[in-house]
A and B are shown apart, each in its own frame.
Chain A
Amino acid sequence: MKVISAKDLELDEPQFKHCTGTRNACKLCTPLGACLAFRGVEGAIPFLHGSQGCSTYIRRYLISHFREPIDIASSNFSEDSAVFGGASNFKAGVANVVRQYKPKMVAVATTCLSETIGEDMTRLFHDYMKEEWFEGHPHMVKVSTPSYSGTHIDGFHAAVRALVATLAVPGDRTRRVNLFSGMVSAADLRYLKEVLEDHKVPYTLLPDYSESMDGETWSEYEKLQSGGTPIADIMASGCAQTSIEFGRTLSEYPSAGKFLSERFNVPNRQLGLPIGIRETDAFFEALAEVSGEPTPVKHTRERGRLVDSLIDGHKYVFEKRAIVYGEEDLVVGIASFLSEIGVVPVLCASGGKSGRLKRSLHDAIPTLDDRTHIHDGIDFAQIGEMADTLRADFIIGSSKGYQLSRKLDVPLIRIGFPIHDRIGGHRVLHLGYRGAQSLYDTIVNALMDVKQTNSPIGYSYL
């Protein structure tokens, strides 16, 4: 058994190499986020304006996580398009997609290539509609998503904003609540719908890929998987009583909630992702307020059982050290939860660079101290270099941390996106009391497993 002396507890400041290039990115490119968000709209087909490769790579990446088909069309630039512009490819491409998929919406995102050659998308849309529009033509939405500024999360939020900006209409205030969840799992979305329904308020949850990206096996071929936020709901978001938007790092971001508040005076509440007890409490308080319904007993009971289990297991996790990585808001939520259960998030790292990570972490976790190192705009090689001196007990984030967990010989708690080395990544529940419960059980059990495995005695009773 290792005896810990006071000396062991002193740690060197973790170091990492500064490098001009990125080594094993802890981020993905902008259009990926946009495509996922768009696939959360009923009958929408994502369409990338650029080269074929981007759409194929993004599809493959999403498929490996969700294990669901996702069709993403491409205008498929050739050398000519790169020189003379992609107008004709765009027109032909959209026309083909409309004919073949009969979608309710063609949701266009740009790529690095079309942005670099300075494609004027407004003009392309205008020209297309002038020539090709017909009665009953699908809706057209566009978003600008160059990957050289931002990450997949920016693409996601920009797409959500583009959807409301294009479709929301003004009108008399209704009881409706808009919920912009951010990039969460299919299980999270289902959970949010259940919570909203339990509060008996009409809602617009945008996007909602809980079915389109986690559907049943088909009895007949589905060109575009069913499910998704109904377009009518997006339109109605302009008359909602309130928007709730998850993401502490969004405070300066031109988000969907902000758009609706500026354009249609729909009040916007920005909350942290409801991960762990306090952030979930804030969400349920907000819901009680806007719905006029007290938190349903079902959920207070879930909270109660969660608290009870935290007490049962607290010794197993206390002052364990964790490395948290991923999208900034996910990192904030997870770190907040870990702090609640006595785990020290020794490193909070993200490839994102909103400039708000540090602030958001301190806002969410008032007790945060200098044992926690915070780095944005960072890659996995750098996380690995810092890990050398951090003595983490476990790491928590996407599959992409697997090599690190193997090197450190500590468990990897798989959350977020992508989960490419396990089944059911999209069914991981992170949100709410229920999500906290399953995260907690997973973490505690992983640590118990380490203890059991490393014990020379092999207790079957812990």
Chain B
Amino acid sequence: MKPVPPSQPEIGILPVREASIVEVGKAEGGIACNKHSAAGSVSQRACVFCGSRVVLYPIADALHLVHGPIGCAAYTWDIRGALSSGPQIHRNSFSTDLQELDVIYGGEKKLYHALVELIEMYKPNAAFVYSTCIVGVIGDDVNAVCKRVAAEKGIPVLPVNSEGFKGTKKDGYRAACEAVYKLVGTGSTDDIPPHSINILGDFNLAGETWIIKEYYKRIGVNVVSCITGDARVEDIRHAHGAHLNLVQCSGSMAHLAKMMERDYQIPIKRVSYFGIEDMSAALYETAKFFSDDPTIMERAQELVREEVATIYPQLRAYREKLQGKKAAIYVGGAFKAFSLVRALKMLGMTTAVVGSQTGGPEDYKQLQEMCDPGTIIVDDTNPLELAKFCLEKDVDLLIGGVKERPIAYKMGIGFCDHNHERKEPLAGFIGMANFAREVYSSVASPVWQFAPRRAAKLKAAAAQLNGGKA
């Protein structure tokens, strides 16, 4: 066994971070959020560019060109699980790969040539050009280049102002919405049937959009466009013809929905497709909105009954095994956190720690209300804090992304990937069953008995039992 390093210091919380952490039941008032990450604290956040890239990437027939040095593009090459039923242009990583001379003399020429060549080679229906940090510093006029290429090539060429340092991931979402909004309203709405919606903020990870779309189809609601799961440029052009925007994914698409509400009077409903409760609510809300056709509600109820009946036996079996286990949640958006708290409850589990990278004050208030006393709530946490809380609360499971995974494993804690890289669909009713299986297959694995921390505990428990007997 490895010797414990000498004088292991307590895992401390940086003073600048204290205001971003609360314990339910202990503190009154809000939580500090919406801030730039503290310097030197190893934030789990990415950057503005990352936010834009995540949101726009699933548009499969568009060219996504990252203007900057190579890293920003290389690290985002085909890492997301966003699926396309047709073209796969989006799965490439295109970069202007700026070199020293470009940095000195400017990268506009390079951007122009790269764009023109790539458009000729791949024949996309639109192009997005992402500005990364140094573009914001060397002063390239990206807009001008985009305009010129658009005129020459006859496709929309849309600049995304996503310089990494100009805010947080949330600002990246916003920049993405601004860019994609330039497409909305450029197509005809003549053939759009009544009872039509847009699905906003689902990215077709592991095919989730397809699951959701199928549900809407079954209840008799027409989907005009998904922004951006399995999206095509053409669909987005017609999006303003929908009668309702259903917005999932807190934050990322709210801005787009608001712009469409302002300019096209399309009402907004916030939904989530994770967990039985939230999934059902999403369908019912939609049916209620289209109450002029009561058969939609009838079909929705029928669908929920059917689907729940299918997965319920499985869930019950998992629940028996998972009853009383404790979980920590650390995800990007707070709305997803709500769904997860509920979904875990359905599996008989409690949430001991919950945090998000980009939640707002309202979100945290709601989290505080829905969690049990003693639950720790954090904004923009870092590996040290996360580890500290997981250990303090002795959780059995951490739900997060790839960056959180090794923290969990090293401490002998189960893990469920609920991020953009996941390859298992977790949305919809079938997704709830998958989620339960994912959680179960980590929490119930026999391997934990060998993890030193757990092994020590088992040993202590056994000793106590023997002592008790003696």
A contacts, CB < 8 Å to B: 17, 19-25, 27-32, 47, 50-61, 63-64, 67-69, 71-79, 81-82, 89-90, 92-97, 99-102, 111-113, 116-117, 146-149, 151, 215-223, 226, 381, 400, 403
Task: Tell me whether A21 and B77 are in contact (CB under 8 A).
Answer: no
Q: Is B270 an interface residue (CB 8 A)?
A: no
Q: Which residues of B contact A400 (CB under 8 A)?
A: 77
Give the residue among A23, A27, A75, A77 with the most B Cβ atoms within 10 A. A23
B100 CB contacts on chain A under 8 angstroms: 146, 148-149
A24 and B46 contact, Cβ closer than 8 Å, known pairs A147-B71, A217-B452, A226-B2? no
Let me know if A76 and B133 touch, CB within 8 A: no
- Taking a contact as CB atoms under 8 Å apart, the answer to whether B97 and A56 are in contact is no
Residues B165 and A55 in contact, CB atoms below 8 Å apart? no
Contact B406 A22, beta carbon cutoff 8 Å:
no
- Tell me the bound Cα distance from A89 to B43 in angstroms: 14
Please give me the residue from chain B that is nearest to A226 by CB atom: B5
Interchain nearest-CB distance for A210 vs B (Å): 14
B49 lies within 8 A of A28 (CB): no
> Per-position contact with A for B73-92: 1 when CB-CB < 8 Å, else 0?
11111100000000000001
Cα A112 to Cα B384 in complex, Å, equals 27
Interface centre among A51, A67, A72 (most CB of B within 10 A): A51
Pick the contact of B39: A27, A57, A89 (CB < 8 A): A89
A69 to B50, CA, bound (A): 21
A53 touches B72 (CB 8 A): yes
The answer to whether A117 touches B48 (Cβ under 8 A) is no
Task: Tell me the bound Cα distance from A421 to B130 in angstroms.
Answer: 27
Instruction: Let me know if B387 and A221 touch, CB within 8 A.
Output: yes
Instruction: Please determine whether A21 and B94 come into contact, CB atoms closer than 8 angstroms.
Output: yes
Asked if B406 and A69 sit within 8 Å, CB to CB, the answer is yes
Q: A56-B43, A148-B69 known; A78 and B36 CB under 8 Å?
A: yes
- Taking a contact as CB atoms under 8 Å apart, the answer to whether A21 and B11 are in contact is no
Task: Check if B39 sits within 8 Å of A25, measured CB to CB.
Answer: no
Residues of A within 8 A of B220 (CB): none
- Which of chain A's residues has its CB closest to B162's CB? A53
In the complex, the answer to whether B70 meets A147 with C-beta atoms within 8 Å is yes
Complex: how many Å from CA A133 to CA B95?
41
What is the CB-to-nearest-CB distance from B55 to chain A, in angstroms, rounded to a whole number? Answer: 15
Nearest chain B CB to A125 CB, angstrom units: 15
A29 and B2 contacting across the interface, CB-CB below 8 Å = no
Nearest 7 CB-CB pairs, A to B? A53-B47, A29-B71, A93-B40, A96-B40, A21-B114, A93-B39, A219-B452
The answer on a CB contact under 8 Å between A116 and B134 is: yes
Task: Tell me if B117 is interfacial: C-beta within 8 Å of chain A.
Answer: yes
Chain B residues proximal to chain A, CB less than 8 Å = 1-2, 4-5, 8-9, 11-12, 14, 16, 36-50, 65, 68-78, 92-100, 102-103, 110, 113-115, 117-118, 121, 133-134, 136-138, 164-167, 383-384, 387-388, 391, 402-403, 405-407, 409-412, 450-453, 456
Question: A57-B46, A221-B411 are known contacts; what are 10 more A-B pairs with Cβ within 8 Å?
Answer: A21-B115, A30-B71, A54-B47, A60-B75, A63-B406, A69-B410, A75-B39, A76-B37, A89-B39, A96-B41
B305 to chain A, nearest CB (A): 40
Contact A147–B69 (Cβ < 8 Å): yes
Please measure, in the bound complex, the distance between the C-alpha atom of A102 and the C-alpha atom of B5, giving whole angstroms: 13
Instruction: Judge whether B74 and A27 touch: CB under 8 Å.
Output: yes
Residues of B near A82 (CB, < 8 A) are: 133, 136-137, 165
> By the criterion CB–CB under 8 Å, are A67 and B40 in contact?
no
By a CB distance below 8 angstroms, the chain B residues around A216 are 2, 452
B50 near A57: Cβ-Cβ < 8 Å:
yes
Decide: A52 and B118 in contact? CB cutoff 8 A: no
Q: How far is the CB of A97 from chain B (nearest CB, A)?
A: 4
Q: List 10 A-B contacts (CB under 8 A).
A: A28-B75, A29-B75, A30-B71, A71-B42, A74-B40, A79-B167, A148-B100, A217-B412, A219-B4, A226-B2
Nearest opposing residue in chain B for A67, CB measure? B406
The answer to whether A75 touches B40, judged by C-beta atoms less than 8 angstroms apart, is yes
Contact A68 B406 (CB under 8 A): yes
Smallest Cβ-Cβ distance to A43: which chain B residue: B5
A52 in contact with B166 (CB, 8 Å): no
C-alpha gap A31/B74 in the complex (Å): 13
* B residues in contact with A27, CB < 8 Å: 70, 74
Q: How far is the CB of A50 from chain B (nearest CB, A)?
A: 7
Chain A min CB distance to B417 (Å): 11
A256–B118 Cα gap in the complex (Å)?
40
A59 with B403, Cβ < 8 A, contacts A76-B38, A222-B5 known: yes
Q: Which residues of A contact B41 (CB under 8 A)?
A: 73, 76, 96, 100
Residues of A within 8 A of B4 (CB): 219-220
Contact A221 B95 (CB under 8 A): no
Also in contact, A31 and B71, with CB within 8 A (given A52-B45, A116-B134): yes
Q: Provided the pairs A21-B117, A73-B42, A97-B40 are in contact, do residues A217 and B136 lie with their beta carbons within 8 angstroms?
A: no
Contact present for B136 and A96 (CB under 8 Å): no
Contacts of A147 in B (CB 8 A): 69-71
Q: How far is the CA of A11 from the CA of B118 in the complex (A)?
A: 28
- Chain B residue nearest to A88 (CB atoms) is B39
B403→A63 contact, CB < 8 A: yes
Asked if A148 meets B96 with Cβ closer than 8 Å, knowing A54-B164, A63-B405, the reply is: no
